[in-house]
Structure 1
Amino acid sequence: MKVTRKIKVLIVDDSLLFRETLAREFAKDFGIEVIGTASDPFMARDKILELKPDVVTLDVEMPKMDGIEFLKKLMPQYPLPVIVVSSVGNNVFEALNAGAVDFVTKPDAAKKGSMNSFINELIVKIKIASTAQVGQFKKDYVSAKLVTDKGTDIANTILAIGASTGGTEAIYNIIKTLPRDMPGILIVQHMPPVFTKMYADRLNNSCKLEVKEAADGDLVKPGRVLVAAGDFHMRLAKSASGYFVKCARGEKVSGHCPSVDVLFDSVAEVAKNKAIGVILTGMGSDGAKGLLNMKKQGAYTIGQDEKTSVVYGMPMVAYNIGAVDKQLPLDKIPQEICDHLALEL
């Protein structure tokens, strides 16, 4: 009988009760072994060097040094998968930018079942993080300058992007590189409610494009990026006046709401060959079938390669089923998009 190696986890949190609770709950999962705990970043550093964990869960708010500062010091010297545990706040995006693979929000003690949901989500993300590649592809991206081409129908073109684990930084590095006069861009990033608006605001404040969390009926137009809201599927639609989005709650599709497949399927149906589909890092297969539908309708499709994906799941499935026209490293994708649109970086 084959014995599967357990994922070695180090828990870093200043609360003794929280550390003990996590350790007790993790012990119930046969795939996880808690090899140690630490109450502050200095103890965590020593435990990492001594125990060599596969994954670290890290509280953001701690004494002596906060979790983000610790990540900034840790990742360049000892890159490993880190799941950040945080209250709702912009610091989760700082943590992801510093090298964390993913995040989980702390449970609401007043909400029934909150702790169980939190534990279950954290266990799933630990297992995903254990497969992640970290630390080898942080790059500086050049700014983009638009050179228009008379043959490019920007107003009627759609750029659709889908991602999951590792996608917040991957999308950020693409969007911040693109010029202001891009066609309308639609994004599905697997993320809980509240955080999608915070993420859209972060993108809006750091790029040339207008970025907002999508609302039902929002127009899709050049220079605008719409990010699907947590718990809402986003679909492309078209009226006599142009493209717009329909946003509605619904059952999970391909395991997610919002779902990349839902977005890509709608883009395939509505925009057909006037579209570009991009599938980025993430666990699972959400978006692969939708991207294939886009390709069958004449859209140009791009997939992130294995080397630069934090988790080579979604882009791998898409590539394997023939949905990807071209597979590229993350830093080459903006150029490829602009080349296809006859734009120049």
Structure 2
Amino acid sequence: MRAPLAASGLALAVAGSLLVATPAVAAPFVDGGISAGGTTWRVEGLGAGQQPEIKEAQRPGWEGNSFTFDQGVRPVSLAADSTGPTDVDLAECAADGDLSPAADSTGDQIASCELSPLETGDGTLEAALEWRFFDDGATVRARMSVTNATGDTVSGATIGFRDNYYQDTDTRLGASTTAGHPAAEDDAVVDGDLLWITYAALDATSIEAPVILTAAGTADSTVTPQMASSAGDGGDLQITLYALPDIEPGDTVEVVHFYVWQFFEFDEVNPVDAADARANLEPAALFVPSALAAVETAWDARGRFDTLSDRDAAGIAEPSAVLNWNAVDEPSDPAEPELADTGVENAWPLTALAAILVLCGAGIIALRRRAA
């Protein structure tokens, strides 16, 4: 997992921070609600020395649990002395963060902070975090950029995101790249998944959590997601890591995740005591069939993340430099150009004859001049 990957020249050519410069009207932001498109997300930990996280989402008319995440969308890195892939370091903001409207016409809201330097691989990387809350009231884009500000190449660096889907033992995988739709009751996210959808089957008070689609990249990218901890089958902890290519001095690279909320109207609650619900309603998702309908809706819209569209890349100065969404540049050996079949290889007799004719012509001209 730690083996360096070959980076594309374009991805590593972007120096300096890839995060968009803080737009005008930016205000200091540490924690609180961020509203976009009718949804309000609860954000915490954007203060200096704190660990940033998204915890919940509220929307008018939503009757379920607002706590979609318990410490979710958290930037992480893997230190050289880590005891294993799940032993990640949670990133901290180096200074208080900012909240601002996007500097374009999208209506999105952007929360960001500079992160404390990350000790990962064989070096230290400067880092930054940006969350973009889309005006559709459903999508959050998480960006983590790292910069090599040292004088040496940094190899073996690993970064990613840690999500706790706050559905505890009721977390189910509704669909994924490898499992398809619908996923089996005991399926979980695995290596090879580029997109997955989770839902809460049932909790102790019969309150559903929103369905969440997570998109982690494309198959033809410079880096692809590697699962250190997998959500689904009753597990709510998801750690998605990316083994970065060698990062040369002065270069900046980044990874991007998308999270899409699916709110839905509840079906009539099944009249079963909570204590007996799990035994009586396995698969538990049948308790609220509309949750499964929301999973299907999210799955049907998955084509959005087959590539990084202009809308989803809004505000990213160099979208092709996002390592988990851009295609790998594979240099090929330049082919020798084929010459047209002009018979050049057999032209030397004609060339010799032409030279003889030229000499003869010169001799004739000389004789005429003497005769004159």
TM bin (shorter chain): under 0.3
Report which of the two has the higher share of strand. 2
Relative to the length of structure 2, the TM-score reads 0.23
* Higher relative contact order, structure no. (Cα contacts within 8 Å, ≥ 6 residues apart): 2
Structure with higher Rg: it is 2
Report which of the two has the higher share of helix. 1
Relative to the length of structure 1, the TM-score reads 0.24
